[in-house]
Structure 1
Amino acid sequence: MPIQTAKEPETAKKEASSWTFFSNHAHVLLSLDAPEDKVLRDVALEVGITERAVQGIVADLEAAGVITRYKEGRCNRYKINRKVKLRHAIESHRSVGDLLDFVHKDK
């Protein structure tokens, strides 16, 4: 059986940066919670996923009642329902607004 050695610092850095604490759904929601309106292409660039993936996530969030999509001229705008409870049992005692306030606290 080969002996495992400590990882090189560069390898450890790469592995540490390959995951995040929040899902892409949370990242999209956080991006949409900005004071300025964004098109989904901008959200995709900020989150680091495709525009098509963002469209799917927006559809999920809309179906769950987390966001409401409305038209303003030719553009889609998004309103976040901050009262919706988070979905996982571990955090279901908190709301979407609690999450947004926590992450954006210092902004």
Structure 2
Amino acid sequence: MDYGAEAGRQWTFLTNHARVLVQIARDPGIRVRDIADRCLLTERAVQRIITDLEQAGYLSHERRGRTNHYSVTIAKQLRHPADAGPTVAELLNALVHRPADGPQDAAPTAVDSPPQ
């Protein structure tokens, strides 16, 4: 897997936790299998990440029939002290793909900021 990095020094800008959170923000009813495919992870790794995000309060889920429906806690602050200040909503607004036919400055409904 060469993502444009020099040989022996592979890194990426986003963590797997961020990738999983973005997929869930895009589609709150997404299956673990689909998250794994899109993030190039195993299903087990995605399950562990979802558990981490839920335990930290960034994510919750409810069963709807045979599937899970996820909710992202968008008002929560980012976890690392060096990232203090921005909320999950601000991060997701920067990362979640906006449809080409929609307004470019409108945030997706899944990550809208709460009313103030």
TM range (shorter): 0.7 to 0.9
Q: TM-score, normalised by structure 1?
A: 0.80
Q: CA RMSD of the aligned region, Å? A: 2.3
* Offset from partner CA, 1:26-80 (integer Å, 9 cap, x none): 0000011114621000000100010000000000000011011111111111000
2:43 pairs with 1:51? yes
| Equivalent in the alignment of 2:34 | 42
Deviation at 1:12, TM superposition (A): 9.2
Report 1 or 2 for greater relative contact order, CA contacts < 8 Å, sequence distance ≥ 6: 2
Output the CA distance in 2 between the equivalents of 1:26 and 1:19. Answer: 14
Aligned length: 97
Identity of counterpart residues, as a percentage? 36
Q: Once superposed, which parts of structure 1, at least 4 consecutive aligned residues long, lie more than 6 Å away?
A: none
| Equivalent in the alignment of 1:4 | none
Query: Structure 1: where are the runs of 5+ without partners?
Result: 1-10
Contact 2:78-2:88 within 8 A present in 1 as well: yes
Larger gyration radius, structure 1 or structure 2: 1
User: Among 13, 19, 30, which residue is 1:21 paired with?
Assistant: 13
Contact 2:58-2:73 within 8 A present in 1 as well: yes
Q: TM-score, normalised by structure 2?
A: 0.74
